[in-house]
Amino acid sequence: MSSAAGIDALCTRLESYLTPDQIADIRRAYLFSENAHEGQFRRNGSPYITHPLAVANILCDMHMDHQSIMAAMLHDVIEDTGVTKGEIAELFSPEVADLVDGVTKLTQVHFTSKAEAQAENFRKMMLAMTQDIRVILVKLADRLHNMRTLDVLTPEKRRRVATETLDIYAPIANRLGMNDFRVEFEDLGFYALFPMRAPLIRKAVMAARGNRKEMLVSIKEALEARMSEEGVKVRVIGREKHLYSIYQKMREKQKSFSEIMDVYGFRVITENVDACYRALGIAHNLYKPIPGKFKDYIAIPKANGYQSLHTILKGQRGVPVEIQIRTEAMEAMANNGIAAHWLYKSDGFTNTSQTRAREWMKSLLEIQKNAGDSMEFIENVKIDLFPDEVYVFTPKGRSLTLPVGATAVDFAYAVHTGVGNTCVAARVDNRLAPLSLPLFTGQTVEIITAPGARPNPAWLNFVITSKARSSIRHFLKDQQQSEAVDLGRRLLEKTLSTQGSGLAKLAPERIASVLNDLGLPDIDALCEEIGIGNRVPQIVAARLLPDDDGSDTRGATGGANANPSARSIAIRGTEGLVITYARCCRPLPGDPIVGHLSAGRGIVIHRDSCNNILAELRDSPDKCMNLRWSEKVDREFQSELRIELVNQRGLLAEIARQVTEMDANIEGINIQEKGAHHGVMHLSLQVHNRIHLARLIKRIRIIKGVEKITRVRA
């Protein structure tokens, strides 16, 4: 079909739901696009305009509005021709220009890698989608036509496009409830990635279809007859799994093809919700239901708005029968998702997917706000495109949808970011439970918060929702920044004070000049650089002090061998992420300590006798500094004891009792046999300070069976 005939055929189809003026605008957009793409051809040799026309036809199938179809006609003109967004806005409308710009790749920006370019383009598109959901619908239609014409690409590019589609666009279609798009994306991607496996599975499905026909007809007739007897009007459809889902189940569940095809699937379409539950009762009366295999997605819809009753029965001759029961409106929503809003809006159709999509877009904006860069953003969105969910409840009965494997921390952030940031414990079904425990459908979760609490970096090891992950990272990033500024300011002030100066005594012009030389915006940025170990305070102080201050003091690096009383910094134990306590020597309050500035980690604290700090003192003394413990250190520190003992009943219990009575906490125990009756225990503890540890050692030493006890120093 020629392009002219193609636009005529499209306009004829559009007459069913658009006005003549709107169709005229679409034809005008087509003529503009055809002129802009003049001389450009697709890889198969056809004029380029055939692609925008095909995308417009896909959107027409969805009954999309005229602005979306105009955007489909124009979606490549900014990227592939000299046309600008401003020209489109002037010739057509700002809304159409925004839609076109939303699906246009960033071509004028230089990226260091293809992955970074892909991530930044994806972020641009997703953020445009949060402003107007039609952006993603135009993009999905664009990608669908590209997938349908993959065969003209090189094998390498075909695999790349198919992988991107399966990783990103199929999950997005699923998240928006657009099942028809998802299925076609997955099957086309499957054929592109596995050109030998896909035809084999298709051939096997065709063969199995003939063998299954008799059983399918028998079950279908039995269901229809029983429903008719009970006066419930239904439409029963045999349901077949698509190729990619068969392949996925064979691979992930380690099942053979015959095991998957042994299950017979049916869809029962009813008139209303009441009829759905009546049909469920009739089906359970006809065949025996399998316990634990019933799911009610009508009362609690999936995250993408999908609604249906699912049940598995033992049918004739014991064969498993999967039945999905839903209304006609739910069937439309299951297949078209958010697109059903345009397909059925004239009939007063209410689309749950539209509401769910808005909620998801709201969460995307929060993820974007917390993400450090485009790579982190795309990673978080990928996590959020989950296929399976659990449904849990708040104490007030509100239901929340979370991905399988979500924990109480994920739940807390799903309720509100503030709840997540201050959560300290959780009750699951009225029982205290670990924050890392995965949740299951039907559980009631209560989050316990505390005003001074803050996120723990260890939560990143088990949270799985993008909102929780991005919120924790954002909080820790801000926390580390403020702690680094505070520590850096203290280090710089202490260094300046040894030379009779301070930040307040320095001329603002001098500070501004140094900041300009270092390329930093303000004094807080300079202090942050010092706090995280990227700059040495002695060198910064030397640059800040005026030239007439005396070279002997200004140039002093002072290392750790300088006068401790003049040079030492007080460690309070509350510095957080910018202070690291060395695991090699495990310093405790009361131990003489030395600090070493490490880039990105801030100050690493060692005991002054540690071999590692002695090496640093020798190799880079300018990065070392004497430290001292503040008089009030309010936290616990890790320490380790080596206990030589005689093996006897109850000895371990007695040691544990003494540790508990001394208000210490056991973190780990490792016992090694040394002969038939002797052993060595390594006891990892949390203690307050050196005196606390000494008293604990004294208590353990007098226990019968303990022969020798020493603190592990390295």
The residues carrying an active-site annotation are 79-80
Nearest Cα to 29, choosing from 62, 73, 85? 73
Is residue 516 within 8 A of residue 555, CB to CB? The reply is no
Is residue 263 within 8 A of residue 252, CB to CB? The reply is no
- How is residue 678 written in tokens? 């002797």
Is residue 499 within 8 A of residue 547, CB to CB? The reply is no
CA dihedral 275, 277, 281, 286 (to 10 degrees): 60
The three-state DSSP-derived secondary structure of 94-156 is HHHHHHHHHCCCCCCCCCCCHHHHHHHHHHHHHHHHHHCCHHHHHHHHHHHHHHHCHHHCCHH
Report the chain's terminal Cα–Cα distance, integer Å. Answer: 80
Q: What SS3 state is found at 627? A: strand
- How is residue 491 written in tokens? 């280090």
Q: Which burial class, exposed, middle or buried, applies to 250 when counting CB atoms under 10 A from its CB (0-12, 13-18, 19+)? A: middle
Non-local (6+) Cβ contacts of 59 within 8 A are 68, 69, 72, 137, 138, 141
Q: Which burial class, exposed, middle or buried, applies to 697 when counting CB atoms under 10 A from its CB (0-12, 13-18, 19+)? A: middle
Is residue 321 within 8 A of residue 40, CB to CB? The reply is no
The identity of residue 626, as a single letter, is N
Is residue 261 within 8 A of residue 311, CB to CB? The reply is no
Strand extents, DSSP E, 376-519: 389-393, 399-403, 423-428, 431-433, 445-449
**What is the C-alpha separation between 519 and 259, in angstroms, rounded?**
66
Nearest Cα to 152, choosing from 249, 244, 50? 50
Q: Is the dihedral of CA 342, 344, 348, 349 positive or negative?
A: negative
**What is the C-alpha separation between 434 and 445, in angstroms, rounded?**
12
Segment 33-39 long-range contacts (CB within 8 Å, at least 24 positions apart):
33/73, 33/74, 33/76, 33/77, 34/3, 36/77, 36/81, 36/83, 37/76, 37/77, 37/80, 37/81
The residue with tokens 């029983």 is 226
